[in-house]
Amino acid sequence: MLGFLSISLFGFAQNNSIHRATSNPASRLIFYDFGMVDFNVNSLYKYQNGMTLSNWNTLAVSFVDTVNVSTWKLQFMAEPAYLQSDGGSANLDLATIEIVVQDGGGNYNLESNNNIVDPGGDGDFALQNTWTDIITGAPEGSFEDFRIIISYKCGKGSVSLMDKDPDYYFVDIYFRVTPE
């Protein structure tokens, strides 16, 4: 049975000013634009083919270490461990949603310097309930240096929408910057 399926993602940034006793890194993560991510699956075509929200969010990172020269990584995780149903249907697998990470045009190019992790060679990261590296080995810099664009895919990877019950589903996504 096909009906209206809606999936919402809510994003949160975790900022840390002091990360470890051996150095003194200060990091900040901001969302230039983080509207709620909503997938409204309301047609047979969208059920069969999934949906993509391209260039949906822009994040910026500032990282400075006043003691040691250091690098940073950007991680994400989803919570809870599933897409939670709001209307009594079975919860959905987190892998229903994938994110795509791209360089956002800052002064430092994260793609050409191979800082974006690409586990499957396609640039996509399925949502997971553990901290997952999406950018690693990036040097110190300001918000102007590090811009990251996040796109979202729903039902386009290993988990299809075709056998999913119509309902409203939601999950929280957390992003954090930590020193390496």
88-141 pLDDT tens trace: 899 999 999 999 999 999 999 998 888 988 766 677 899 999 999 999 999 999
With respect to residue 169, please indicate whether it lies within any of the assigned structural domains: no
With respect to residue 168, please indicate whether it lies within any of the assigned structural domains: no
Report the helix count and the strand count for the chain, using DSSP H and E.
Answer: 1, 10
137-165 pLDDT tens trace: 999 999 999 999 999 999 998 888 988 88
With respect to residue 56, please indicate whether it lies within any of the assigned structural domains: yes
Classify 33 as helix, strand or coil.
strand
- 179 within 8 A of 20, measured Cβ to Cβ: yes
Quote the domain boundaries for residue 78. Answer: 5-156
With respect to residue 172, please indicate whether it lies within any of the assigned structural domains: no
The pLDDT assigned to 18 comes to 44
Domain count, the chain: 1
In angstroms, the CA 82 to CA 66 distance is 39
With respect to residue 166, please indicate whether it lies within any of the assigned structural domains: no
b/e string for 111-145 if b means 16 or more Cβ within 10 A? eeeebbbeeeeebbbbbeeeebbbbbebebbebeb
- 29 within 8 A of 75, measured Cβ to Cβ: no
Which residues make Cβ contacts (< 8 Å) with residue 78, sequence separation at least 6? 94, 97, 127, 128, 129, 171, 172, 173, 174
Is residue 44 pLDDT above 60, yes or no? yes
Output the CA torsion 41→44→49→55 (10° steps): -30
With respect to residue 13, please indicate whether it lies within any of the assigned structural domains: yes
* Share above pLDDT 70 across residues of the chain, in percent, rounded to a whole number: 83
With respect to residue 37, please indicate whether it lies within any of the assigned structural domains: yes
With respect to residue 57, please indicate whether it lies within any of the assigned structural domains: yes
| CA dist 107 → 124, 130, 138, 143 (Å) | 24, 30, 12, 9
- 177 within 8 A of 61, measured Cβ to Cβ: yes
pTM: 0.86
